[in-house]
Structure 1
Amino acid sequence: MTVFSQLSRTLLALALSLPALAMAGDVIVISHSSLNMPAGDIRDAYIGEKQIEGGTKLVIFDNAALQKDFLDKVVQVDSAKYSSIWTKKGFREGLNPPAVKATDAEVIAAVKSTPGAVGYVSKAPADVKVVKKF
């Protein structure tokens, strides 16, 4: 095998791995400034097990752009299982799944304007409360 051939294979392998590397970024859970949510309660809030924090009803937002990473890193389920959890919660307890926002900007705007709100973004601005970075 020539040096050129080895280099070509190495570059091809690197190029194929770049999309996966680009997708795996930080997931930062944020909350409304008035909410004091412990980081240990994030998963429970996102699967409907925790609905109130400090007397405030939680309002949970999903971020469509980061949902796969969030589910993998934080909730530790795939999207099919997550949907199943919320379908069961809807039938059994009458709960609605988290509202889905399309972008970080939409999640940030919703969290800032909604008391009890929790969401996740890739980069948090200075004017929101960071609950935990994953």
Structure 2
Amino acid sequence: MKFIPFYLVFGLFVFLQSCGNKQVEENKLLREKVISIHDEVMPKMGQLKSFEKAALQKASEMNGLDDPDLEKIDSLKNLAVQLNKAYEGMFIWMRQYKNEDGDQTPEEVKVYLEEQMILVTQVNEEIKEALANANRLLGS
């Protein structure tokens, strides 16, 4: 009878420990998903800058024509702004992203990673949209 409270406390400890480990594993998977969304578009960062430069150059060339297409020139300049914004968005996200959990509880880490998933997904979509627009407008 004396051992019943001990087994009860031990069983509760094991249960809580296994729940904590489960959350840590879920956080690890969530962190991997966040990084994979980042990794999907990170190799395209140079392409963003190349397209930005090409859009500005083409706008400049068109501006020098006798009868410039002002609407097309504006579209190219807006594209350059969009490409730069997408480029900067990635680096803004990377600077604020914390790869370490620090003193946070597993529950706090989960909330943080869920917020990061939303942010990195937005960055990913902005980059893909900017590249699609560049392909459309520049014909590349």
Smaller-chain TM-score range?
Answer: 0.3 to 0.5
Give the structure with the higher percent strand. Answer: 1
The structure with more radius of gyration = 2
Which has the bigger relative contact order, CA under 8 A and spacing at least 6? 1
- TM-score, length-scaled by structure 1: 0.33
Give the structure with the higher percent helix. Answer: 2
- TM-score, length-scaled by structure 2: 0.32
